[in-house]
Chain A
Amino acid sequence: GNSVTQMEGPVTLSEEAFLTINCTYTATGYPSLFWYVQYPGEGLQLLLKATKADDKGSNKGFEATYRKETTSFHLEKGSVQVSDSAVYFCALSDQGGNQFYFGTGTSLTVIP
């Protein structure tokens, strides 16, 4: 079946530190991959996506590359800011299906 596994949190970083949040997936076929972010008191917002192998999604300084050989979609940012504090969700949508599959979320806190 389809599933997403992402690293356990919480993660605490100092401002300007490098961020990596690991995400691996299991899927049949060729899924599309997503990162969503949820700020306190809000719903999830799409951060970036990739729809085929070797695609790189990027937005607001965040990047993730769709790696089919390692079934991974790790989220990275070179220099985090306090405003990046939020919960980050990795997700996939399966080819031919009608569902999205979400990871458990990773809470990030950035301290000044």
Chain B
Amino acid sequence: ETGVTQTPRHLVMGMTNKKSLKCEQHLGHNAMYWYKQSAKKPLELMFVYNFKEQTENNSVPSRFSPECPNSSHLFLHLHTLQPEDSALYLCASSQDLAGGQGYEQYFGPGTRLTVT
């Protein structure tokens, strides 16, 4: 596998379910990100990790819980979601954090989440 992979690609869950999204990067990068992409809205940054440490949490509700066990893997644990949480969830990685070095982000294909 190369690049950034995400599983599952599609997920349908009820509001009382608990599920997890998985992201893996095979690029040797140190920083990983979760984004939410909703129709007709800008890309929303959710969480940023650098060397496994969380550096940003953009006021994300606690029903979203990230986990980064190592620099290659990132999880998003989901519980008691709302229908408005239905969206495409994108994982990305970069060599290091954004600041000033021109490092680009590499994105996975996303998980299309539907909350019923």
Interface residues of A (CB under 8 A from B): 29-30, 32, 34, 36, 41-46, 49, 51, 89, 93-100, 102-105
- Given A42, A49, A96, A102, which contacts B102 in the complex, CB threshold below 8 Å? A49
Q: Are B48 and A43 in contact (CB under 8 A)?
A: no
Q: Are B90 and A99 in contact (CB under 8 A)?
A: no
- Closest chain-A Cβ to B68's Cβ sits at a distance in Å of 14
- B98 contacts the other chain (CB 8 A): yes
In this complex, how many residues of chain B approach chain A with their Cβ under 8 Å: the count is: 28
Write out the residue numbers on chain A whose beta carbons fall within 8 Å of the beta carbon of B110: 42-43
Q: Are A94 and B102 in contact (CB under 8 A)?
A: no
Write out the residue numbers on chain A whose beta carbons fall within 8 Å of the beta carbon of B48: 98-99
Q: Are B43 and A43 in contact (CB under 8 A)?
A: no
Closest 5 CB pairs of A and B: A93-B98, A43-B107, A51-B102, A95-B100, A98-B97
Given A89-B43, A99-B56, A100-B45, decide whether A43 and B4 contact each other with a Cβ distance below 8 A.
yes
Q: Are A95 and B99 in contact (CB under 8 A)?
A: yes
Known: A32-B100, A36-B107, A43-B109. 6 other contacts (CB 8 A): A94-B99, A96-B100, A98-B31, A99-B48, A102-B43, A103-B42
CA distance A50 to B29 in the complex (A): 20
CA distance A100 to B105 in the complex (A): 9
Quick one: which of B34-59 are within 8 Å of A by CB? 41-43, 45, 48, 50, 55-56
CA distance A105 to B97 in the complex (A): 23
Query: For residue A4, which residue of chain B has the nearest CB?
Result: B42
Q: Are A98 and B109 in contact (CB under 8 A)?
A: no
Quick one: which of B64-104 are within 8 Å of A by CB? 90, 92, 97-104
Write out the residue numbers on chain B whose beta carbons fall within 8 Å of the beta carbon of A96: 99-100
Write out the residue numbers on chain B whose beta carbons fall within 8 Å of the beta carbon of A104: 41-42
Q: Are A98 and B99 in contact (CB under 8 A)?
A: yes
- Closest chain-A Cβ to B33's Cβ sits at a distance in Å of 8
